[in-house]
Structure 1
């Protein structure tokens, strides 16, 4: 019997993750199916797990839209399959969100559901523009309306309301204004239009009923919230400067070179700083050409005093092979484990194992320089990438008296061709930063660009006005060798450190 599924109608709030509720974030991160609206900030999608199916069913005026009946069917179908479904709606689910129709469909099918509130743009947009909706002298009350079909509204009554808040009114703005004026509203009535509230692209247009149409001519007023009333005069202009300052990478597009099929924690870190991220696979991670050496080392693991793991890939491939051979972590009872980097340590800890040693600077060179014990006559197992890895670690450990047994645990290759979205963004000069978290990603990135361009000079010309960001000294050295330069290097050689370095970079 299929386990009972559940549908969560979640309000995404406005803008990015900053305005999402904790409950909403928790549900998005554990969802098996995410069905979301067009107005939901794309940064929220990065909160989902790798295995989450994400379906956009957004409705935008003048564009192809998913029929409401189809959305209802999707919710019911996945729930009946036993899935945990998040229906992510912009703002709050119960404000012009057609949630009642979806709930009715779920109830008819006996599907379990829960409603999670979100911050509506009705309240957030005026607030983030510094406009109070109520004031003891200027606004005793306000009314919220949809501007989608203005001809159906009672403008005689609405013209008498102190403050009007209008959603979905951008296309109908001239009609709305004329209806108010025809029903006695002053032509000099203040009006504000808040576009993209809560996002780095937030804009606020102010004027009167006489001039606002001309002021916004040529501007797409979707999504936007319209506020009409004397309270607009109380607008705090400083409030409009808050949004960009929250996100140091707002309006920056960053290309992240990463491994194929790997969810990028780095992408999430950058999006939290306001960046738009384009991911470009620059590493293809596969099993080694032969398991023979690794299998032999595992069978004789009791001979080793230390196991060294220098990457998340090394951890995953080693332990997956261990399990495939019928062993578990208890076989390592007499072996100490050294890792390079906090990410590697975190992946190891997911397997309920803590490293015995992490070097202070998170790089392989530091591991050898700071090894915690005498290595004379010690036998060290080093599962590593099959080809292309650095030899300095093995050389340094050997010079200290250790016997290092290197075995191939995985291969790291260059993808066969460049990812087209990334290539198009580079060609159209849309990229502000390219990031590199290893020397291998630099080499493969360079190789992929050379497939498209005629020369090394052409590669450097393409990257001329792009910031090249490196995670550490060895990666910076490779950038300099192949790309002619690097522009910034993380002070702490981690993804968090690289994120901080980019956020603090002076783009000039």
Structure 2
């Protein structure tokens, strides 16, 4: 079988367009399907054609992520459909990029592919803050490694090297320091922790091994590059001589949320965009996922519905999770948006509509106020005799919506497209910040995250939240906040993440 599609494994470098290779820029401009990681900068997603399908497969250390086998399946499926597929990875595809499994999957079915290098953050992050990895006197060699599994590293050998560049080390900072000190490294050894290098959110903390944990206490250290060695002290001298597009200093004081620490509690795969909005406004953002999204117990019902899409009059999508999982499953069945010809689509919320548009489709109906209740009240046609497909969360979904549609004469076919769970663990940074009462605002974008947050916090010793402002995205979430906390301090006027950001900014400006 001849396969006309092709897969490009592309390194995104630091994420800033200025540091993208010419070849990567060219390929992004021709992409028909973009499958990207969580650490890829939002601005790169604007470089693909408007018609390009964008799929976030969000692999983040320590958090729920798309299984590698499912990513492999997506690459193969879209390639076999004849698409030009770009697998966009942060940094370089072959430096801790897990590319081997994807290439093996492509080779197994003879899918053409090309690997496009990117600039690894291990090399670029120290450069943009003025730290040279080598120096004729201070650093004749350096090692690059990931601290993802610190127990497998030869710390005795690493401690003898002049300069270390460490990726995926934010959560292991304590272990890194302990091991290096244990094997003879001086507690006065300089260390730099560089977060979001080369972007507008860039921050850098410089100290020594003895004090770096105190300096970074209560701060979310993901994603960071850690540089250890005497060369760190050259940054002050060299920064005066090189141009850095984004200042390595903390956020500018004229930003409305400067100095505010905000904890966000969305599902693990949906934190980055909201966090970016808040960080751009100057906030120190901590992430505490209160929802994990994964596959349903069985795909059987959804697969059966996909096989008979022509039988349905309407497809109802009430969340980006519903959109993403429905279309991902559609692709695994060898189909794309064309399979929905003749089926009208209703969505709840602008974000859900945007997710649908990324699959090349426009919704036929979006209710006002961006809430599901308005979907029923303002539905554009009589429902008597209509057959409606509703891909939804497996448990705990919108029972009222189904009941009302059925009462109006529609045949509603509910199928599990994904499942949501309460996580078992809390980020140590988030827990410490809550217990030390350094959090200014906690945000909630759904009633389920409110319940799960309270359950998680209680299971980890609890915290005094009297001084924290509770921020809600809308009335249903606010109702849950009232039940759990007895109050809501900030509520979005427009029930979107942008509206919630604006409400928090307004609160900060009128304090």
- Shorter-normalised TM-score: what interval? 0.5 to 0.7
In the alignment, structure 1 residue 444 sits paired with structure 2 residue 452 = yes
In the alignment, structure 1 residue 314 sits paired with structure 2 residue 322 = yes
Counterpart of 2:262 in 1: which secondary structure?
A: strand
1:217-252: CA deviation from partner (whole Å, max 9, x where unpaired): xxxx99879xxxxxxxxxxxxxxxx9533x100011
In the alignment, structure 1 residue 385 sits paired with structure 2 residue 393 = yes
1:166-209: CA deviation from partner (whole Å, max 9, x where unpaired): xxxxxxxxxxxxxxxxxxxxxxxxxxxxxxxx9999xxxxxxxx
465, 479, 482: which one aligns with 1:480: 482
Counterpart of 1:445 in 2: which secondary structure?
A: helix
Instruction: Choose 1 or 2 for highest CA Rg.
Output: 1
Instruction: Show the counterpart of 1:491.
Output: 493
8 Å CA contact retained: 2:92, 2:117: no
462, 465, 472: which one aligns with 1:463: 465
431, 434, 438: which one aligns with 1:426: 434
Equivalenced residues, count: 334
8 Å CA contact retained: 1:200, 1:274: no
Instruction: Show the counterpart of 1:244.
Output: 253
Instruction: Show the counterpart of 1:353.
Output: 361
Instruction: Show the counterpart of 1:85.
Output: 119
15, 18, 22: which one aligns with 1:23: 18
Q: Partners of 1:76 and 1:292 in 2: how far apart?
A: 35
8 Å CA contact retained: 1:31, 1:52: no
Q: Partners of 2:348 and 2:290 in 1: how far apart?
A: 21
Instruction: Show the counterpart of 1:273.
Output: 281
Alignment of 1:109-188 (within 5 A): none
Greater mean alpha carbon deviation, residues 83-92 or residues 405-414:
83-92
1:111-142: CA deviation from partner (whole Å, max 9, x where unpaired): xxxxxxxxxxxxxxxxxxxxxxxxxxxxxxxx
- Judged with a 3 Å threshold, the aligned counterparts in structure 2 of structure 1 residues 369 and 422 are, in CA distance, closer, same or farther, namely same
- Judged with a 3 Å threshold, the aligned counterparts in structure 2 of structure 1 residues 359 and 437 are, in CA distance, closer, same or farther, namely same
Instruction: Show the counterpart of 2:384.
Output: 376
Counterpart of 1:463 in 2: which secondary structure?
A: coil
1:46-101: CA deviation from partner (whole Å, max 9, x where unpaired): 868878999xxxxxxxxxxxxxxxxxxx99986997422165468978x8868999
**Cα deviation, residue 3, structure 1:** 9.4
8 Å CA contact retained: 2:271, 2:287: no
Instruction: Show the counterpart of 1:297.
Output: 305
8 Å CA contact retained: 1:306, 1:337: yes
**Cα deviation, residue 333, structure 1:** 0.6
For structure 2, list consecutive stretches of 5 or more residues without a partner in the other structure: 1-6, 28-38, 46-55, 61-90, 98-113, 141-199, 204-232, 238-250
Q: Partners of 2:201 and 2:334 in 1: how far apart?
A: 51
Counterpart of 2:390 in 1: which secondary structure?
A: strand
RMSD, aligned CA:
4.5
**Cα deviation, residue 293, structure 1:** 1.8
Alignment of 1:53-64 (within 5 A): none
Alignment of 1:405-424 (within 5 A): 405-424=413-432
- Judged with a 3 Å threshold, the aligned counterparts in structure 2 of structure 1 residues 248 and 346 are, in CA distance, closer, same or farther, namely same
**Cα deviation, residue 468, structure 1:** 0.8
Instruction: Show the counterpart of 1:193.
Output: none
8 Å CA contact retained: 2:435, 2:464: yes
**TM-score for the superposition, normalised by structure 2:** 0.56
Q: Partners of 1:383 and 1:331 in 2: how far apart?
A: 16
For structure 1, list consecutive stretches of 5 or more residues without a partner in the other structure: 13-19, 33-42, 55-73, 106-197, 202-220, 226-241, 454-458
Q: Partners of 2:309 and 2:360 in 1: how far apart?
A: 19
**TM-score for the superposition, normalised by structure 1:** 0.56
**Cα deviation, residue 390, structure 1:** 2.4
Q: Partners of 2:427 and 2:131 in 1: how far apart?
A: 39
Greater mean alpha carbon deviation, residues 302-311 or residues 287-296:
287-296
**Cα deviation, residue 31, structure 1:** 13
Greater mean alpha carbon deviation, residues 416-425 or residues 355-364:
416-425
Q: Partners of 2:126 and 2:378 in 1: how far apart?
A: 51
Counterpart of 2:424 in 1: which secondary structure?
A: coil
- Judged with a 3 Å threshold, the aligned counterparts in structure 2 of structure 1 residues 249 and 288 are, in CA distance, closer, same or farther, namely same
Q: Partners of 1:302 and 1:486 in 2: how far apart?
A: 45
Q: Partners of 2:336 and 2:358 in 1: how far apart?
A: 14
Q: Which has the higher contact order (CA 8 A, sep 6+)?
A: 2
1:134-176: CA deviation from partner (whole Å, max 9, x where unpaired): xxxxxxxxxxxxxxxxxxxxxxxxxxxxxxxxxxxxxxxxxxx
In the alignment, structure 1 residue 283 sits paired with structure 2 residue 291 = yes
8 Å CA contact retained: 1:357, 1:372: yes
Instruction: Show the counterpart of 1:189.
Output: none
Instruction: Show the counterpart of 2:351.
Output: 343
Q: Partners of 1:318 and 1:447 in 2: how far apart?
A: 29
Instruction: Show the counterpart of 1:110.
Output: none
Runs of 4+ in 1 over 3 A off after TM superposition: 2-8, 22-27, 29-32, 43-54, 74-82, 86-93, 95-101, 198-201, 221-225
Instruction: Show the counterpart of 1:333.
Output: 341
- Judged with a 3 Å threshold, the aligned counterparts in structure 2 of structure 1 residues 408 and 4 are, in CA distance, closer, same or farther, namely closer
Q: Partners of 1:26 and 1:5 in 2: how far apart?
A: 10
- Judged with a 3 Å threshold, the aligned counterparts in structure 2 of structure 1 residues 6 and 429 are, in CA distance, closer, same or farther, namely closer
